[in-house]
Amino acid sequence: MNEEFFISLVGEIFQGYSEFDFEGNQLYLKHLCIKDQAYINIYYEKYKKIAIKKGLPEEKKALEDMKKDGMWSDEDDLKIEELKSQIKNLQDTKKSVFLRSAQEKIKSDLASKESEYYILLAKRKEIVGKTAEDYASSMSSFEMIRFFVFKDKQLKQHAFDEDEFDRMSDESLLALKKKQDDISDKFNELNIQKSSLRPFFSMYLSYCEDAYGFYGRPMCDLSVYQVKLVLFGRIFQSIFQYTEDIPDAIREDPEKLLAFSEAKSNKNSNKKNKPFIDENAAGSTVFGGKKGDLDEMGGDVEGVSLSEEIKKAGGKLNMEQMMKLSGQ
């Protein structure tokens, strides 16, 4: 992605809407703000009640019936929750690991757990079948499209009234949903993080401490994307202020920058996953760091294979030897 993409992304965030073409008309998709959350729940509950009246079962009841028939079990549910917890732990660990080789190992484990997790979810969904919650989620998401699409940049006039929307063909409705999904994908957290680290945005980082001063509007009127932009700006500004020796190669990479900062701040804990660095030594030693890891870290950093040093020492290292290896 080039610089123009990120400049455009930030521009749309400031506007609070994204412009798009639909069947020859220029329309405007309003970005979600905290006040809109209430409407999401209102529409969801509206269609859930409709689904129940139509005879669709609620998921909890359908799942209980499947368990009575022996098609599902409490153990299956526990496995799903266990995998969900393991995935969360791996995601948290990945954020605190800087070395690329360690990150790749975590990514591999994460992919394996996620695959197992989603297979189980798909199996449960197949067994339970269509529920009132499914119908509510699907129908409310389509109704929210109408709620967020406008004819004007001022976001005053909806592009479709309820009758027009109800008469819309399935093909047009799906095409409109695709437009919304594409715009939503563009504003993923990683892209917003990258935008806040681009050179054109660097002069604004220090102003992210004051969201009201930054946008000239109270927090309750800000879109989710506007909040995320100042939040990430504040985080990265803090990292640049209080984290020493940041390699130039990672200053515009949010994932590596966050991992580096986390590793620096927690270097005295979880030694298995973090580099052992002595700030007072002339140089630093990284146990288990591969060449690519060390190149990314920059500075006067030396790689040491801890297992090789243990072999040389006859099978174990005392504290004095460990301190010597680490540059003390």
Distance from C-alpha of 165 to C-alpha of 142, rounded to nearest angstrom: 9
Q: Is position 68 within any domain? A: yes
Q: Among 152, 167, 186, which residue terminates a domain?
A: 186
Q: How many CA atoms lie within 13 A of 314 on its CB side?
A: 2
85 and 181 in a single domain? The answer is: no
Q: Tell me: pLDDT of 310 over 70.
A: no
155 and 39 in a single domain? The answer is: yes
One-letter amino acid for residue 97 of the chain: V
Per-residue pLDDT, averaged over 236-243, amounts to 93
Q: How many CA atoms lie within 13 A of 15 on its CB side?
A: 16
Q: Is position 97 within any domain? A: yes
Q: Is position 246 within any domain? A: no
143 and 45 in a single domain? The answer is: yes
Q: Which of these ranges, 25-29, 159-163, 247-251, 315-319, has the smallest mean pLDDT?
A: 315-319
137 and 52 in a single domain? The answer is: yes
Question: Contacts for 218-221 with beta carbons within 8 Å, 24 or more apart?
Answer: 219/34, 220/33, 220/34, 220/35, 221/33, 221/35
Helices 100-128 & 74-95 angle (0-180, nearest 10): 150
Per-residue pLDDT, averaged over 17-27, amounts to 95
78 and 100 in a single domain? The answer is: yes
31 and 157 in a single domain? The answer is: yes
Per-residue pLDDT, averaged over 115-136, amounts to 93
121 and 69 in a single domain? The answer is: yes
**Percent of the chain scored above 70 by pLDDT?**
79
How high is the pLDDT of residue 326? 47
Residues 282-300 pLDDT 10s: 444 444 555 555 555 554 4
Q: Is position 253 within any domain? A: no
Q: Tell me: pLDDT of 221 over 60.
A: yes
Q: Is position 315 within any domain? A: yes
49 and 181 in a single domain? The answer is: yes
Q: Tell me: pLDDT of 167 over 80.
A: yes
Q: What is the residue-averaged pLDDT of the chain? A: 84
Distances (CA, A) of 305 to 288, 291, 311, 327: 6, 11, 10, 14
Strands 25-30 and 149-150: antiparallel
91 and 114 in a single domain? The answer is: yes
Helix (H, G, I), strand (E, B) or coil at 212: helix
Rg of the Cα atoms in the chain:
26
Q: Tell me the two tokens of residue 300.
A: 């006067």
Q: Is position 313 within any domain? A: yes
Q: What is the DSSP letter of 267?
A: T
Which residues sit opposite 195 in a β-bridge? none
Q: Tell me: pLDDT of 301 over 90.
A: no
Contact criterion met (CB below 8 Å) for 119 and 295: no
Cβ-based neighbours of 114, under 8 Å, separated by 6 or more: 87
142 and 37 in a single domain? The answer is: yes
Q: Among 129, 149, 164, which residue terminates a domain?
A: 129
52 and 141 in a single domain? The answer is: yes
Question: Contacts for 70-78 with beta carbons within 8 Å, 24 or more apart?
Answer: 71/127, 72/124, 72/127, 72/128, 76/120, 76/124
One-letter amino acid for residue 294 of the chain: L
Residue 33 neighbours by CB distance under 10 Å: 18
How high is the pLDDT of residue 244? 87
Count of structural domains, the chain: 3
Q: Is position 99 within any domain? A: yes
Which residues sit opposite 301 in a β-bridge? 284
Q: Tell me the two tokens of residue 289.
A: 């760091």
Select from 326, 268, 260 the least CA-distant residue to 298: 260
User: Max Cα separation, the chain?
Assistant: 82
Q: Tell me: pLDDT of 274 over 50.
A: no
Q: Tell me: pLDDT of 216 over 80.
A: yes
First to last CA, the chain: 44
Tokens 């220029």 sit on residue: 26
What is the CA 267 to chain-centroid distance, rounded?
24
How high is the pLDDT of residue 312? 65
Q: How confident is the model at residue 268 (pLDDT cuts 50, 70, 90)?
A: very low
Residue 6 neighbours by CB distance under 10 Å: 20
113 and 85 in a single domain? The answer is: yes
Please give the residue range of the domain that contains residue 282: 275-325
Distance from C-alpha of 27 to C-alpha of 10, rounded to nearest angstrom: 19
Q: Exposed, middle or buried: residue 204 (CB in 10 Å: 0-12, 13-18, 19+)?
A: middle
Contact criterion met (CB below 8 Å) for 58 and 131: yes
Q: Is position 266 within any domain? A: no
Residues 45-73 pLDDT 10s: 999 999 999 999 999 999 999 999 999 99
Q: Among 152, 186, 220, which residue terminates a domain?
A: 186
